[in-house]
Each structure stands twice: as C-alpha cells, then as structure tokens.
C-alpha cells in the first residue's frame, strides 16, 4: 500500500470544517486590518532562502526540501513565507506603487524535521507582512492581529512574549559581552552550545539543557545593551500593547532562530499543545529587503502554525462548530422514478438548496436512515399515489410533519425549505 509521505497528513472531509473555520477567522481579522492576500509559488530558487533566512540557520542548513529540476536549477520547497513575499515585493516593485504594503498569506510550508506533536514536514502557516514603515506601531499591530485571531477562536491558555534584538551594531557589541562572560565557562556548556558559541552565540539562550540554563541565568542580557532607537521603539510597542489590553511578558532570552530579525521579536505560546508550544512568532526585519536586492525598506511580520492552533483548539475544547446538514434528501419510493428524482434534485440545487439522494438503489427505510445521518432538514418523497396525482410529499424531519405539494408549485416548496426555523 502506498502511504502518505512521512510527516505529511491528509485533511479528510470530516475535518475540513475546522480548517474552513480557522481560515475564515484569519481572513476576517486580516480584512479588518486591511491586509490583502498574497500567494507566491510553493517553490523558489534555493538561493532566495539561503540568503534570506541565513546559511547557518538550522532551517537552511539541514531542513530544506531542495532538489534539482530537469534544467538543473536548484529549487527549494518554501520552508517559510517571508523570503518569498519579499522577493515578490521587490520583483513587482510594490514599494513604488504605495509607500506601505500590507499583505497576508495562508499556505503550506515544508521542512524536513522529525515529526512530533505539533510538527509536520508539510504544515500550514498563515501570517502577515508589512513593508515600508519602521514604525513600532506596526510591530504592535502584528501582535494584535495574531492575538485577535487566537482570541476569537476561543483560545485562553496563551502567553505573549516579546523581546528586542536591537540593530546589528548593538547586537554585535552585546555578543562580545556575552563571549567575554562565557569565555571562562565554555567547558561546562553542552556540546551543542559549544557549537553555538562559534556559530550563533545568542542561540545558547534557547537551550533547554539544565547545565546551559544554569550558566545563562546570570549572563548579560541583550535588552540591557540595546541602542537608543531600539530601546525607544520597544517602549512604544509595550505602550501600545498595554493600551490594547494585550497581556504580555518581556522575555529577554527570546531569541528567534532566523537571521533576518532586528529590533522587536515576539512569540505567542499555548500551554495546551505539548512540546511544540509556540503558536506563532515574528518580528521586525529592517535589513531583509536590501539583503535580497531591493531598496532599503523596513519590514515586520509574523507567521502562525495552523496545525498547532487547531491542536490547541481541540485540547481547549473551544471549537464548537455547528453540525453539518443538508436541506433536502430526496427519497424515491419506486426505483423507476430515478430520472425524475435527478431532474428534481437538479432543479432544487439550481435554486441554491443543498440536496442529495440515494445512488445505490436502496430501500425507502435505508434512504430515510441516510437522510437522518446527513442531518437533512427535509425529506421529499417521490412516488406512490401522490405522485400519480402530480404531488410530492415534503417531510420536516425534526417535527415529523408532512405536506403534499403539487409538482407545479415547487416555488412553494423552495420557500418553505429556505424559511426553515424562522
């Protein structure tokens, strides 16, 4: 048997409602903030991600689905969306058409990691990017949108963590301080962290190993070494968040693993989804557009993991979706009336009703069971004496009441069905 690729999941018909619900919530919130959707290809030239995300990052160095196509071009399935959005922004000169570009996306992403709860190899993210303004107002807006989406889904067990990484020169100064602090203690770090010491010293803060955490507890904090501008912007972000009643914690050890972040970074964590608790993360990236060959353009954005959010919704039991139903199930009393049934179904469907009927030549009883299972509001009987008198029988399944309707008065039937429950 051929099975789905390791780390990929089918979204089956009875699960799709959850996805529609999530997607609709996402689109609604983004629309209210006037973000428009952008769709970029699922694959890009490998160089885009290598330059955008950073060669040394885990994503680029060991998690990308990279292959050569028949023209020997190195292609990569997108592991995140920001690089592609920025590429499109530059390629289509969006910055020339309007000073500020606000976009959102909903898309599958691909990373070859070991799957576990809340982590797949093909997974889905929604997110937003705002390009063209350095204003910390937009940083706060990103957090607000993400929080608003999660909140309107009904999630409660959330915590917002924010930090500032500062501008690169300030960060370099800080890294030197950190190197000084760690130089004498290097030997007691884990092997992993020794490598980080060389490659990306900030990431040592991410380590969950106790011995590392013990050492890092007293390490100098980036937030104390920020440049004045970053410090000021960070204060503005906090002021706005407070004003918006969004609870947050400053987490000085929050380090984003992508190279492009500057200044504000943030993360929203759920206490209900297992080890992969980060539902969304993002931050400012004022140097990325230039890095990818565009004009100097500040940007800020975030991405959220949809599987994780749905997991959180299930574990918090907040997804109270209405039962699916159909309007009418056509029950055929005599099998030779199939042609008439299909004609009626077609007519009713054209009148915007959800209609189904039996395709398996089953008994009336079986057809009724099927109607009940599909949560049909009405059943329409076709056949018998009534049909000989040009009538069909409409039955309201919740009350059990039936009424005969003339075949030339179908409008009456349609309005009856459409006014169900009113």
Partner RNA sequence: GUGAGUAUAGCUCAGUUGGUCAGAGCACCAGGUUGUGGCCCUGGGGGUCGUGGGUUCAAGUCCCACUACUCACCCCA
Q: Contact residues for RNA (CB under 7 A)?
A: 3, 6-7, 57-59, 63, 80, 111, 113-120, 123, 125, 192, 196, 203, 206-209, 256-258, 267, 274-281, 303-305, 307-308, 333, 360, 362-366, 368-373, 379, 381, 383-386, 393, 395, 397-398, 400, 402
Q: Which C-beta is closer to RNA: that of 66 or that of 402?
A: 402
Residues, the chain, total?
422
- DSSP string for 189-247: S-HHHHHHHHH-GGGGGG---HHHHHHHTTS--GGGG--HHHHHHHHHHHHHHHHTT--
Looking at the Cβ atoms of 102 and 308, the one nearer to RNA is 308
In the complex with RNA, the residue whose CB is nearer, 96 or 210, is: 210
Minimum CB separation of residue 158 from RNA in Å reads 12
Whose Cβ is closer to RNA: residue 120's or residue 355's? 120
Smallest distance, RNA to C-beta of residue 83, A: 11
User: Of 7 and 220, which has the nearer Cβ to RNA?
Assistant: 7
Structure tokens at 157: 């067990």
DSSP code for 61: I
Nearest distance in Å: CB 127, RNA: 8
Q: What are phi and psi of 114, to 5 degrees?
A: -75, 120
Q: Give the tokens for residue 86.
A: 């920025």
Select from 27, 119, 153 the least CA-distant residue to 308: 119
Q: How far is the CB of 234 from RNA (least distance, A)?
A: 19
Cα separation of 108 and 123, whole Å?
5
Question: Which residue's CB is nearer to RNA, number 2 or number 350?
Answer: 2
Q: Specify burial of residue 76 (Cβ count, 10 A radius: 0-12, 13-18, 19+).
A: buried
Strand segments (E) across 64-121: 66-68, 74-77, 101-110
CB of 71 vs RNA, minimal distance in Å: 28
We find the least distance from the C-beta atom of residue 267 to RNA, in angstroms, to be 6
Is residue 417 within 8 A of residue 378, CB to CB? The reply is yes
Task: Give the containing element (helix H, strand E) for 28.
Answer: helix 16-32
Distance CA 191, CA 178 (A): 18
**Closest CB 243 distance from RNA, rounded Å:** 24
Based on CB atoms, which residue is closest to RNA, 179 or 369? 369
Q: How far is the CB of 232 from RNA (least distance, A)?
A: 25
Alpha-carbon distance of 266 to 301, in angstroms, equals 10
Cβ distance to RNA smaller for residue 239 or 325: 325
């Amino acid at each position: 048997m051929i099975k789905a690729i390791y780390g990929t999941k089918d979204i089956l018909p009875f699960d799709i409602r959850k996805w529609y619900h999530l997607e609709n919530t996402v689109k609604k919130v983004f629309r209210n903030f006037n973000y428009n959707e952008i769709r970029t290809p699922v694959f890009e030239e490998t160089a885009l991600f290598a330059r955008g995300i950073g060669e040394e990052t885990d994503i680029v160095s060991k998690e990308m689905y990279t292959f050569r196509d028949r023209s020997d071009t190195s292609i990569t399935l997108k592991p995140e969306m920001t690089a592609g959005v920025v590429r499109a922004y530059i390629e289509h000169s969006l910055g020339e058409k309007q000073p500020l570009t606000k976009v959102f996306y909903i898309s599958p992403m691909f990373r070859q990691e070991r799957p576990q709860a809340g982590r797949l190899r093909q997974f889905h993210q929604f997110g937003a990017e705002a390009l063209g303004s350095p204003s910390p107002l937009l940083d706060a807006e990103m957090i607000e949108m993400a929080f608003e989406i999660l909140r309107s889904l009904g999630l409660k067990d959330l915590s917002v963590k924010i930090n500032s990484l500062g501008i690169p020169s300030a960060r370099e100064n800080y890294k030197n301080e950190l190197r000084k602090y760690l130089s004498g203690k290097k030997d007691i770090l884990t092997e992993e962290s020794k490598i980080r010491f060389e490659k990306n010293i900030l990431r040592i803060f991410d380590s969950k190993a106790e011995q590392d955490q013990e050492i890092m507890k007293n390490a100098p904090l980036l937030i104390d070494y920020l440049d004045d501008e970053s410090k000021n912007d960070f204060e503005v972000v906090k002021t706005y968040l407070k004003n918006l009643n969004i609870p947050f914690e400053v987490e000085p050890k929050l380090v984003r693993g992508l190279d492009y972040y500057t200044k504000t970074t943030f993360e929203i964590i759920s206490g209900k989804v297992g080890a992969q608790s980060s539902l969304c993360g993002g931050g400012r990236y004022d140097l990325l557009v230039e890095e990818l060959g565009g004009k100097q353009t500040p940007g800020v954005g975030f991405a959220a993991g949809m599987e994780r959010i749905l997991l959180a919704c299930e574990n918090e039991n907040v997804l109270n979706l209405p039962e699916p139903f159909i309007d009418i199930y056509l029950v055929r009393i005599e099998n030779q009336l199939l042609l008439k049934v299909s004609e009626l179904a077609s007519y009713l469907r054209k009148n915007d009703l959800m209609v189904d009927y039996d395709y398996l030549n089953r008994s009336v009883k079986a057809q009724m069971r099927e109607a009940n299972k599909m949560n049909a509001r009405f059943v329409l009987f076709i056949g018998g004496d009534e049909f000989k008198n040009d009538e069909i029988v409409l039955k309201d399944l919740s009350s059990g009441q039936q009424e005969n309707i003339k075949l030339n008065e179908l409008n009456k039937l349609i309005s009856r069905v459409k006014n169900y429950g009113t």
